Structure 1
Amino acid sequence: MEKEQVGVKTPEFISLQFQLAGLGSRAAAFIIDQLILSAVNLLLAIIFIILIFSESYWLYIFDLNSFIFAMMIIAIFVIQWGYFILYEYFSGGRTVGKNIMGIRVIQENGHSITFLSSFIRNLLRIIDSLPISYLLGIFMISPSET
C-alpha cells in the first residue's frame, strides 16, 4: 500500500513531497502525549490535595480551600492545552509523542507551524473532541481509493 503524499511548490518552483501521517501514528502519538499529561496532572492534583488537607491555620482563616481547588482546575486546563500549543511551536511541530512516532505538524506551504496557527489548531481541538472524544472524527476518516 502506497502512503499518501502531498506536493508543495516553492516560490523557486521546486516541488517538495511530504508524506502524510496515518491514523495509527497520529493516535499513538496522541496516546503518548496523553499519558505524559495524565502523569503531570496526577502529580499536580496530589500536590493540591495535600495543600487542601493540610492543617494550616491560614487555610481556615481566609477560606483558601476553594481558591486552591479553583487554581488546580485552572492549572490543569492550562497544562492540558498549553502543552500542545507550546510544544508544537517551540519544537518545530513536534510534541513528545509526535517526536517518538516520527511525525510533525507543518503548514500547507511546508513551513514550520507558527504560534498563531498552533493556537488556532489546538483551540479547534476542543471542538473536534466533542461530543464523544474524537469518535466522530475517527469514523469520518475514509480510506484512500486507488
Structure 2
Amino acid sequence: MAQGRSPADWPEGWHWKWREKVSAITGLLAFQTFALRCEGKLQGLMQLNTARGRCRVPEQAGKDLVYVDYVETAPWNRKAIVGTPRFGGVGTIMIRAAIEISRDHELRGRIGLHSLPSAEAFYATACGMTDLGLDGTYEGLRYFEMTSAQADAFSG
C-alpha cells in the first residue's frame, strides 16, 4: 500500500484495526457491521450504532439517529490516492446503507458521524449532510448530520 509514500500520506483510517472493532461489539444488539465485497476483495467497511445518537440539528434536536462509528473505503477506491478508483461509489453505497438502517429503525433516515479531515468534503458536498463544526469532545473531528429531508434527497 505505501509504495514509496510517507506515513503522513497514508489514509487516515489506515491504523483502524477492524478485527478488534468487530470483536469488541460481537453480540451487542445496538451495533451492526457491513462489508462491501466485489470480485472477491473487500471494497469497504462500516460500523453502525443504533443506540448512541441524538440529533443536534435544530429542527430535529434530541431525536434518535443512527451513528456511523466507522466507515472506510479501500485505498484502491479512493481518487485522492490512485487517481482512477477501481470501484467508484463505495462510500456512497455505505451512506445509503446507513440511511436504510435508520429507516428500518423508524428513524426516518437520520444519521450522524464524525469525519476524518480527508472525508469532510464528501459528507458536506456529495452527501449533502449538515456540518455542525468541530467537536471538541470527539478527538476534535468535525461532526456531520443528515436530516430526514437530506436523506430523502440523497436517496432520491
TM-score strictly above 0.5: no
TM-score (norm 2): 0.26
Structure with greater helix share of residues: 1
Query: Whose RCO is larger (CA < 8 A, sep 6+)?
Result: 1
TM-score (norm 1): 0.27
Structure with bigger gyration radius: 1
Structure with greater strand share of residues: 2
